[in-house]
């Protein structure tokens, strides 16, 4: 199995690009954000816990998302690999992922990091707010908290994966098609 980490700040285009990546490379898309929004919509106990944190722009506890990921690995088959969108997002999550994969003597194949400047994050998320109505897209303050959370808690993963020789960054600016082609050029190598 291949395990790709789709990395990047809020609004970078992870969800947008994931759609074509999973088709082309026969992968199963796991977005921890989407899984959490599903729990919120269902009104589950986990959803109630997640709602308060997501709407503030903060991360949910590591153990919550780690459990979700392991469950998806266990229950999904018939694909060539997994595309992890928005996970891992902290160093403990990255270490947990390595431990989960080590149980079956597997490892992360590569990261695909979509990078855009902070000003573009705000612009893209505000655009999406008009179409999708995500609660955490509604206020500039929450978007700013997500940007700060990304820099403080998630950015250290760049060094983590660089040290392992697994960090690959692509320019996330330009049109959706331009970014897609850059990603495909990179993915074709794995």
What totals of helices (H) and strands (E) does the chain contain, helices first? 9, 5
Q: Which residue is nearest to ligand AP5 (CB)?
A: 33
Choose the contact partner of 59 out of ligand AP5, Mg ion, none; CB within 5 to 8 A by kind.
ligand AP5
d(CA 146, CA 137): 10
Question: By C-alpha distance, which of 120, 105, 97, 116 is closest to 166?
Answer: 97
Answer yes or no: 182 catalytic: no
User: Of residues 15, 47, 81, 92, which one binds Mg ion by CB under 5 A?
Assistant: 15
Query: Which member of 37, 51, 146, 180 is catalytic?
Result: 146
Shortest Å, Cβ 60 to ligand AP5 = 4
Query: Which member of 134, 164, 166, 182 is catalytic?
Result: 134
- The answer to whether the beta carbons of residues 1 and 81 sit under 8 Å apart is yes
Residues of the shown chain interacting with ligand AP5 in the complex, contacts defined by CB under 6 A: 8, 10-16, 31-33, 36, 53-54, 57-60, 65, 86-87, 89, 93, 124, 127-128, 136, 146, 174-176, 179
Answer yes or no: 146 catalytic: yes
Shortest Å, Cβ 46 to ligand AP5 = 12
Shortest Å, Cβ 64 to ligand AP5 = 7
Placement of tokens 């695909």 in the chain: 112
Tell me the chain's radius of gyration from C-alpha atoms: 16
Answer yes or no: 89 catalytic: yes
Q: Which residue is nearest to Mg ion (CB)?
A: 15
Answer yes or no: 134 catalytic: yes
User: Based on the number of CB atoms within 10 Å of its own CB, is 91 exposed (0-12), middle (13-18) or buried (19 or more)?
Assistant: middle
Answer yes or no: 124 catalytic: no
d(CA 83, CA 34): 13
Q: Is 134 near Mg ion (CB under 5 A)?
A: no
Choose the contact partner of 180 out of Mg ion, ligand AP5, none; CB within 5 to 8 A by kind.
none
b/e burial code for range 37-54 (CB count within 10 A of at least 16 → b): bebbeeeeebbebbbeeb
| Active site (catalytic) residues | 14, 89, 128, 134, 146
Residues that bind Mg ion (CB under 5 A): 14-15
């Amino acid at each position: 199995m291949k395990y790709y980490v789709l990395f990047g700040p809020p609004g970078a285009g992870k969800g947008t690009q994931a759609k074509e990546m999973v088709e082309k490379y026969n992968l199963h898309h796991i977005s921890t954000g989407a899984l959490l929004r599903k729990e919120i919509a269902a009104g589950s106990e986990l959803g109630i816990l997640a709602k308060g944190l997501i709407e503030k722009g903060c991360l949910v506890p590591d153990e919550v998302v780690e459990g979700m990921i392991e469950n998806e690995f266990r229950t999904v088959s018939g694909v060539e690999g997994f595309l992890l969108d928005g996970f891992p997002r902290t160093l403990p999550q990255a270490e947990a992922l390595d431990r989960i994969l080590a149980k079956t003597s597997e490892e992360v194949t590569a990261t695909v990091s979509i990078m855009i400047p902070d000003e573009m994050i705000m612009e893209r998320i505000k655009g999406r707010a008009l179409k999708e109505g995500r609660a955490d897209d509604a206020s500039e303050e929450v978007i700013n908290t997500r940007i700060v959370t990304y820099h403080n808690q998630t950015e250290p993963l760049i060094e983590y994966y660089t040290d392992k020789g697994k960090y690959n960054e692509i320019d996330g600016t330009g049109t959706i098609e331009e970014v897609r082609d850059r990603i495909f050029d990179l993915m074709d190598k794995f």
